Structure 1
Amino acid sequence: MKIQISNLTKKFGTSTVLDNIDLEISSGMFGLLGRNGAGKTTLMRIIATLLTKNSGDITICGMTVENTKDIREIVGYLPQDFSMYPSMKVYEAMDYLGVLSKIPKQKRQEIIPSLLGKVNLLDYQNTRVKALSGGMKRRLGIAQAIMHSPKVLIVDEPTAGLDPEERIRFRNLLSEIAKDRIVILSTHIVGDIEATCENIAILNKGKIIYKGKTEELAKLAEGKVYTVTVSSEELDKFKDKYKIIAMVSHGNNAILRILADNKPFEDAKVCEPTIEDGYMLIMGGKM
């Protein structure tokens, strides 16, 4: 199982949203990271055959993306703005979507309870969709996206707005699903990528500015991350001079985590870099 993208370009009018994208995605969890508006959703929608490209080539599990019908049979998609028949009960909504997907009744009766169990919603099968929490609705979205056993699952900003516990539950669910298929996680939340993805690509203004192992992204910032303690009076000077990644107030002082090419002063302590540090370094330190 593999997705191969070569020289992909997408324009809306005179605006280039994706600019000569080259990317190879294999089985397991793959992270697509970038700011809002970087082009992530456009790329996901092209892979899911919901948008057409201007130029370039995409093959998904050996089939070109132009084979819309065949591609849709092997791709599941959970959009950021997912919504699902709010007045229906959970089981009813899943069953109706199964009908639309032309899944036979007997098979629906077998797979729907199994899917709801996998996403921990079996006890809520008689609950109306509108009564579910945000995290439950996202998990229901995953269940409907994998109902037809796709080889590729695309999830766009799935944890935005979720509380920490639900975010962890959702990430664990995606990791489990990725054991036997390609799962593409598109997000601007670095922590989601760090916790789940071995491989990653970073999009910025429609261009790929990094692709490779997630752990290698952190290594890019090795020897460039420091913690320093400064007084409140010195803080503004530091903001102007250094790329501040994190700041914690401590009485009249502030403890800063900064990016710097060289040790800023004697008391600064070098830190073990994280994925977020590498991301901020690549993005120029500006979020």
Structure 2
Amino acid sequence: MQININNLSKNFSSKSALQDVNLTIDQGMFGLLGRNGAGKTTLMRILATLLNKSSGEISICGINILKTKEIRKLIGYLPQDFCVYPNLSVYEAMDYLGVLSEVPSSERKKIIPELLEKVNLLDCKKVKVRALSGGMKRRLGIAQAILHNPKVLIVDEPTAGLDPKERIRFRNLLCELAKDKIVILSTHIIGDIEATCKNIGILDNGSLIFKGTVQELKNKAEGKVFSMNVKPDELEKIKQQYIITGIIMLEDSISIRVISDVPPSDSAQIREPNIEDSYMLMIGGIDNV
């Protein structure tokens, strides 16, 4: 169970959305980080066979991406803006989507209640889709994505706009599903990646600038993260010199967390890097997020 991507490129007219991406994704949770417009959604849509690649090779579980019908049987996809049949009830929407996925009627009757219970929506099976909260719609999106028991689940920005409780519930659900699937989580929310994924990739301007484990990413900023207190009128000048990953307002000063190759001041204290520090270092600062 593996996805292999070799020299993948995608062009839209004169714009290059993806450039020579090489990546291997194994079973479990894989996180794809990147700022808005980095190429994450383009890559997800290509893997889901909703976009054609311009060049390169992709195989999913040993099947060439060009075999669209076979690939779609393997893929479950939750797009960034999931909205489906607002006038149907939750159960009716799932049943209709099951028909479209060619799931037999007897199987749908058995599996739909099981899936709704798994995503904590069984009590809402008669509720209209339009009446669901944002978090509930995302959970319905996951239920429909795994209705045909795919080997690969692709979720694009699934926790954007959710409150912290819903985000945690959603992340836990994805981790549970990843026990026997490839789950690709595409997001720009760093905390979601750190909480769920061992292996990650970072896209920036269509290029894959990092692939490896969370710990390997943290190591990129080892010895380069410092904290120090500065006066309020010094902050703007420091922003021009360093990547700042944290600001805490104190009574008469500001505590900042900065990335620098050398100590930024005599009073600066070195800190253990986190994934956010390393991510900002890789993409060149907060202005690019």
Q: What TM-score, normalized by structure 1, do the two folds share? A: 0.98
CA distance in 1, matches of 2:118, 2:69: 27
Instruction: Give the C-alpha shift of residue 235 in structure 1.
Output: 1.6
Q: 3-state DSSP class of the match of 1:191? A: helix
1:94-105 pair list within 5 angstroms: 94-105=94-105
Q: 3-state DSSP class of the match of 1:136? A: helix
CA distance in 2, matches of 1:56, 1:259: 36
Matched residue type, 1:231: K
Matched residue type, 1:160: A
Match of 1:214 in 2: 214
Q: 3-state DSSP class of the match of 2:178? A: helix
Q: Deviations over 1:64-109 (max 9, x none)?
A: 0000000000100000011011111111110111111121111101
Q: 3-state DSSP class of the match of 1:11? A: strand
Larger mean CA deviation between 199-208 and 257-266 belongs to 257-266
Q: 3-state DSSP class of the match of 1:107? A: helix
Match of 1:36 in 2: 36
Matched residue type, 1:190: I
Matched residue type, 2:112: I
Match of 1:226 in 2: 226
Q: What is the percent sequence identity of the aligned residues?
A: 61
Match of 1:20 in 2: 20
Match of 1:200 in 2: 200
CA distance in 2, matches of 1:281, 1:71: 36
Q: 3-state DSSP class of the match of 2:233? A: coil
Instruction: Give the C-alpha shift of residue 112 in structure 1.
Output: 0.4
Match of 2:180 in 1: 180
CA distance in 2, matches of 1:66, 1:241: 48
CA distance in 2, matches of 1:104, 1:234: 67
Matched residue type, 1:185: L
RMSD, aligned α-carbons: 0.8
Q: 3-state DSSP class of the match of 2:94? A: helix
Matched residue type, 2:178: A
1:28-107 pair list within 5 angstroms: 28-107=28-107
Matched residue type, 1:255: S
CA distance in 2, matches of 1:189, 1:252: 31
1:233-248 pair list within 5 angstroms: 233-248=233-248
CA distance in 1, matches of 2:207, 2:232: 39
Q: Determine whether 1:143 maps to 2:143.
A: yes
Q: Determine whether 1:284 maps to 2:280.
A: no
Larger mean CA deviation between 277-286 and 16-25 belongs to 277-286
CA distance in 2, matches of 1:138, 1:4: 28
Larger mean CA deviation between 60-69 and 119-128 belongs to 119-128
Larger mean CA deviation between 84-93 and 61-70 belongs to 84-93
Instruction: Give the C-alpha shift of residue 266 in structure 1.
Output: 2.2
Q: 3-state DSSP class of the match of 1:234? A: helix
Instruction: Give the C-alpha shift of residue 285 in structure 1.
Output: 1.8
Q: 3-state DSSP class of the match of 1:251? A: coil
Larger mean CA deviation between 263-272 and 149-158 belongs to 263-272
Match of 2:108 in 1: 108
Instruction: Give the C-alpha shift of residue 41 in structure 1.
Output: 0.6
Instruction: Give the C-alpha shift of residue 15 in structure 1.
Output: 1.0
Q: What TM-score, normalized by structure 2, do the two folds share? A: 0.98
CA distance in 2, matches of 1:10, 1:281: 26
Unaligned runs of 5+ in 2: none
Instruction: Give the C-alpha shift of residue 55 in structure 1.
Output: 0.9
